[in-house]
Amino acid sequence: MEKGDILGITITTLNPEYNQLFNSGAVSQSLITSQGANSGAINSVNSNNFDVTRNGFQVDENGAVNLPILGKQNLAGLTRKEAQDMLTTEVAKTAKDPIVNVKFLNYKVTVIGEVTRPGSFTIPDERVNVLEALGMAGDMTPFSVRDSVLVIREKDGVRSMQRINLNDKNVFNSPYFYLQQNDVVYVQPENKLKSRQAGGDNLRVWSMVLTGISVLSLALFRFIE
């Protein structure tokens, strides 16, 4: 988990009022009574941080999320599975048999360069590889360089870049084959190929122009005669 991540967090326990409080944000008086108003079990919630139905829970600049009942929880550097396990342990202190589900609501990758439909794509199942991302972007154009696709990744404020060769079967072993959240895939254009294409287009245009001039000249010559 990193700053700016938006998480969908749901909790299910044997206590329906606990579930209602956490998953809807509606504080139940009976829950406060049963937990104890002075027990510290009920924590205040920052309304700017909490919007389950629309925005989820946003990880703040310190790597924490502010949750109903649990209060601030530091998730910095944790994987989704690790965050689930940690929150399950915390919920178990005040509720029986909790089931915690954590997912990214803003998990996306961006594909730019020599593709049909460049753009950013939200990934619902949080698992996508380079080939799948290129498919979402309409695949590479005929002018792309397939053996030098650049993957740009930023983690903990450190940016790294790696070129992968899609023509090499070993690409499946690359740590950059499966993309991570906010990765950027850049497909480089093949300049020589584009130049040849542009040259061919220009040649066709000039050929059409010369043909038109020839036809016009012939028509004028016949008219003069």
pLDDT in tens for each of the 225 residues of the chain? 788 888 989 899 988 888 888 876 543 333 333 343 333 333 333 333 434 334 689 999 889 999 888 889 999 888 889 999 999 999 999 888 899 999 888 889 999 999 999 999 988 777 899 999 999 999 999 999 999 999 999 887 789 999 999 999 999 999 999 999 899 999 999 875 454 554 455 445 555 545 555 555 555 555 555
Question: Which tokens go with 52?
Answer: 């389950």
With CA atoms as reference, report the closest residue to 103 among 121, 127, 120: 127
Type of residue at 43:
N
Q: Where are the alpha helices (DSSP H) in 10-79?
A: 16-24, 29-35
Four-point Cα dihedral 30, 36, 38, 44, nearest 10: -50
Residue with tokens 């690790």: 82
Cα–Cα dist 126/206, whole Å = 51
Which residues lie closer than 8 Å to 176 by C-beta, 6 or more apart? 130, 151, 153, 162, 164, 183
Cα–Cα dist 52/33, whole Å = 24
Global pTM value: 0.60
Cα–Cα dist 223/45, whole Å = 90
